[in-house]
Amino acid sequence: MNELEQATKRIQNAAFPAVLTGAGISAESGIPTFRGEEGLWKQYRAEELATPGAFRQNPELVWEWYNWRRSLILEKGPNAGHQAIVKLQERFPQMPVITQNVDGYHAEAGTANLIEMHGNIFRARCTGCFTVQEHRSVDNLRPLCPLCEKPLRPDIVWFGESLDNGVVNSIFAILQKTDLLIVVGTSGAVYPAAGFASQVYDSGGAVIEVNPKPVIPCALQIKGKAGEALPALVDLV
């Protein structure tokens, strides 16, 4: 049996599969990943801009980066990889989808039971009164809170910031329960997401990885693009 057939069997026999995605699932939508060649923005790396320090030091530069990403995300849309996960949820209606991505594409594709663990690029949070609101502007470099007029920040988890406790608890409950974690399009460079696959594997679960450059040793690795391999896999299930 080849990897695709083995993976199909594992999914067919799964009692409570779960999905974890990273930037790679949006690559075929035309959204640059963080650590691929095209992942750099101007001369910056995500780790230099997606931090509280960078925002304190140069909020306009950080807003410029998010405005650029938001306009690109608005221009494009979910791809066949996102749609395949929605189709898999028809087979497994309880299947949770945990994403590291902030582009909103899983929600736009109609994904249920979705956890956006790093927040969402179309929300902003007030640095004064902490109100969270929708934010779709692509050119405002100094957005202010309409309630208290303090500066807004992206409602996104930056490097060095803790994830929301509720989100962490929900994810760990899923990782305890799942018997199959399907990991799509992540380089496994960022924690805590980078530890999820081994956590499932160490507690007796199975892991399938879909990535042109697989990185998870304990996974059944399917070397391929999300937009091609996922639909093929879901069609076989």
Positions marked catalytic: 118
CB atoms within 10 A of CB 102: 25
Q: Which two tokens stand for residue 110?
A: 């109609």
Q: Which stretch binds ligand BV8 (CB under 6 A): 31-39, 106-114, 174-182, 195-203?
A: 31-39
Which of 52, 160, 195, 217 contacts ligand BV8 by CB under 6 A?
160
Told to check if 190 binds ligand BV8 by CB under 6 A, we report yes
Given a contact cutoff of 8 angstroms between Cβ atoms, the answer to whether 182 and 158 are in contact is no
> Is 11 or 190 the residue whose CB approaches ligand BV8 more closely?
190
Residues 97, 47: Cα–Cα separation, whole Å? 25
Is 89 buried (19+), middle (13-18) or exposed (0-12) by CB count in 10 A?
A: buried
Given a contact cutoff of 8 angstroms between Cβ atoms, the answer to whether 181 and 20 are in contact is yes
Amino acid (one-letter) located at 4 = L
Which of 2, 43, 162, 165 contacts ligand BV8 by CB under 6 A?
162
Which of 10, 14, 22, 145 contacts ligand BV8 by CB under 6 A?
22
Pairing relationship of beta strands 114-116 and 180-184 according to DSSP bridges:
unpaired
Site string (94-133) toward ligand BV8, x via CB under 6 A: ------xxx---------------x---------------
CB atoms within 10 A of CB 177: 15
Told to check if 70 binds ligand BV8 by CB under 6 A, we report no
Which of 189, 195, 202, 236 contacts ligand BV8 by CB under 6 A?
189
List of residues contacting ligand BV8 (CB under 6 A): 22-25, 27-28, 33-36, 39, 46-47, 50, 100-102, 118, 156-163, 185-187, 189-192, 210-213, 215, 225-226
